[in-house]
Structures are given as structure tokens and as C-alpha cells.
Amino acid sequence: MSAQQRPPLDGVRVIDLTTFLSGPSATQLLGDLGADVIKVEAIGGDSSRAIAGPELDGDSAYFLANNRNKRSIAIDLKSPEGLEIARRLIGGADVVIENFRPGVTTRLGLDPAEVLAAQPSLVWASISGFGQEGPLRDRPAYDMVVQALSGVMSLNGHAGSPAARLGIPAGDVVAGLYAVIGILAALHARAESGVGRIVDVSMLRGQLAMLSYQALYTSLTGVAPGPQGAAHDSIATYRSFRAGDGREFVVTANTPRMWEDLCRVLGVPELIDDERFIDAAARLRNRDSLWALLEAQVDLRPAAEWIDELAAASVPVAPVKNVLEALSDARAADDGSLLTVSGDDASFENVATPIRFVATHAVEPTYPPALGADTRRLLNELGYSDQDVDGLSAEGVVVSQSVVVGAR
């Protein structure tokens, strides 16, 4: 296989000390890109294994969604023997990623600065709710907490209604993405210098970064924006509509040409030269009047007809679909947006990484591992004999697949 054909992170070993969602989503992406990800779990396993809701073959769908392309070793990091195993695993790694609260790894005996002093080429990434420093560093954080503190929740929902969290775990996933970006940047720098570094990612900082133009709008005006609903603060014709059949669709008529074509398709060409709507600024000032006129027209016909005609006129338009419909569309497109992850006894369909590389072999997805599924093999690779592994298992230092009740 040529260098171009190999997955870009082939040969990179990642020690995954993360749990729940922000970290596992990051390490799954690293695995999708070809890294060898070793998931180090507590004796009781990643807490997301037991999340209530749909499950498959004894594992929660929540866990399965974020843990493909990994190997699992279960260790009691609070024991001297378990800590020694972790140190030996890290000794052969390129990257360590963890999402404990700040200071926890140091208390366990894995201080990042000390580890890097002994292993200068290592990249160590820490994901936390509020960063390694600052007044909130010791507080626990979950997705909705950082959505609330960042202002993101205040922008979601409709005017007059309570703040609503985004229906996707943006606080977790965005932190995971920023961690991967930081890791890749550190690996790139290491290729030249030979020196690794510590990457510090905060879930809260990630959500603040997602505010984008809303942050600058607020800084310049001194006014906090309210819930955005299905409209836009700056573009009057960037919003959703409910058609005569009750179905919703969105229109993003951002340019003068799109605005004019929107008016023609909706049957109100006279609005084009109406002084109230003569340009984007005027349309924004008079958006309530404009919306009332457009909504009256949209109500005359079903959504599908409007969508077809607007699309034919090159006005950006789309129906508002639910998740089931969106996944069905992706399946029908057969463009690699979805993948099937198969194990010995079960398989499931999930969303694939959106990153593609031309002329590069894609990583064949492996089923999320059972707790401790790879403990014995990994310990053997570190020089432990089968007898050693049996002894460590009997002492509760590790869990290997052979002693996990119901293991695959």
C-alpha cells in the first residue's frame, strides 16, 4: 500500500482515558482516520455503557455511537499495578487524551507535565468543562451546562418560550472536534521538532467559539440577542415557512437575485420594487410586514410544490425533515454518509465521519469493544504473561474479556 493509500493516522497510537461523550467522540474520529485507539476503561467500564434508552447486544446505543474503531483494556488506575500498566501503555503511545476534571490525572500519578518531561514527544490532550485554570475549573460540566453558560441556549427556541438546549450534544461534540484539531496541529509540529505538547480544550470555550457573529453583534451593540427561532438576525429572507399542507420548509434567499426570484415564484413580483423592501437593509427593518405577506402566499399551496419551483429557480430551499427522514435520504443516496458496523453477534448503522481522502483506503469500522475485550492481548504486548494477566484479574486490577459476564 502506498503512502497516499494509507489512512492518514496509520501508525499513530492513542491512549484514550476518556468517558461519556466529548472524549469518546474525539477518539472515535481519530480511529476513523486510522489511529490505533486503546480505550482505557475503569473496572466498571465507561459510564456511557449504561445510559438508559435503546440498546443492542447489552450495550447502550449511546456508547455504541461513539466507540467504534477502538480496543478496550479495563484497569483499576487507583492501584499501583494498574497505574504501572497505564504508564507502560503511555510509554508506547503518540497521543494521550483524557476528560477528567482538572487535577485528577495528577492525583492518580499521571501528571501531564511530568509525563511529557519523561516522554518529550508525547501529545497530551485534556478536555474539561471549563479549562485547566480559572474559577470554574473544579466544577462538573455536561453538555447542557456549557450550552447554558455560553449563551447558546438563550439563542435557541422561539421568542416568549423558555430557553431550549440544542437537540444535539453540541457542547460535547464541538469540544471533541477542537481536541482533534489541537492533536493534529501538535502532531504536525512534532513532525518537525520532535517535541510534543499539552493541548487544553474547554467545552465552554468551544461553545463560546460557536457563537460566531452573534458574539461580535453583541459586543458592538451591547444588546443580547434573543431566541432565533427559525429566522436570522440579519437576513429577512433566511427563515422557515409553513405551507398550506402544514409542512415546513426553509428558504435562504441571501442575494438580490435570490430575493427577486423568491418574489416571482411566490407570485408577488410587485414586492421587488416596493420601497419597504427595496434592499436587504429595508427588508430587515420591515421584516414583520414582509413576513406577513410571504406567509400569506406560502399558505396557498403545499410545501412540495413550493420547494420544486424554488429549487428550479435556484433559490436555496429545503424541507424541514425529522431525523428518521434525514437518515433515510442518506441511505438512499448511498454516498458513504452512513456505514454499517458489524460484530460477531450484532451490527448497526451509524453516521460515518464526513472527512474523505481521495485515493486513500477508508478504515474498515470495527465494532465497539466489549469491556476489557483486548486486555489480555494488550498486556501480552507489554510483556505480561498469561499467568500475570490471570493474577491481575483475580486481584481486581484488570478486567479481561474472559471474566466479563455476558462478554461477546
The pLDDT, as a whole number, for residue 103 is 96
The pLDDT, as a whole number, for residue 402 is 53
Q: What is the pLDDT of residues 62-90, one digit of tens each?
A: 999 999 999 999 999 999 999 999 999 99
pLDDT for 99 beyond 80: yes
Amino acid (1-letter code) at residue 329: D
The pLDDT, as a whole number, for residue 407 is 35
Q: At 403, is the pLDDT very low, low, confident or very high (cuts 50, 70, 90)?
A: very low
Q: What is the pLDDT of residues 169-181, one digit of tens each?
A: 999 999 999 999 9
Average pLDDT, the chain: 96
Of these residues, 158, 188, 232, 361, which one is catalytic?
232
The pLDDT, as a whole number, for residue 76 is 98
The question of whether 188 is a catalytic residue gets the answer no
Amino acid (1-letter code) at residue 404: V
Q: What is the pLDDT of residues 238-288, one digit of tens each?
A: 999 999 999 999 999 999 999 999 999 999 999 999 999 999 999 999 999
Q: What is the pLDDT of residues 12-29, one digit of tens each?
A: 999 999 999 999 999 999
Q: At 406, is the pLDDT very low, low, confident or very high (cuts 50, 70, 90)?
A: very low
User: Where do the domains of the chain lie, and which CATH numbers do they carry?
Assistant: 13-211+333-403 (3.40.50.10540), 238-320 (3.30.1540.10)
The pLDDT, as a whole number, for residue 298 is 98
Task: Write the DSSP string, 113-178.
Answer: HHHHHHSTT-EEEEEESS-SSSTTTTS---HHHHHHHHTHHHHSS-TTS-----SS-HHHHHHHHH
pLDDT for 405 beyond 60: no
**pTM summary value:** 0.95
B/e letters for 359-379, b = 16+ CB within 10 Å, e = fewer, are ebeebebbbbbbbbbbbbebb
The pLDDT, as a whole number, for residue 2 is 87
Query: Residue 298: in which H helix or E strand, if any?
Result: helix 287-298
- CA distances 152 to 108, 215, 230, 369, Å, are 34, 10, 15, 34
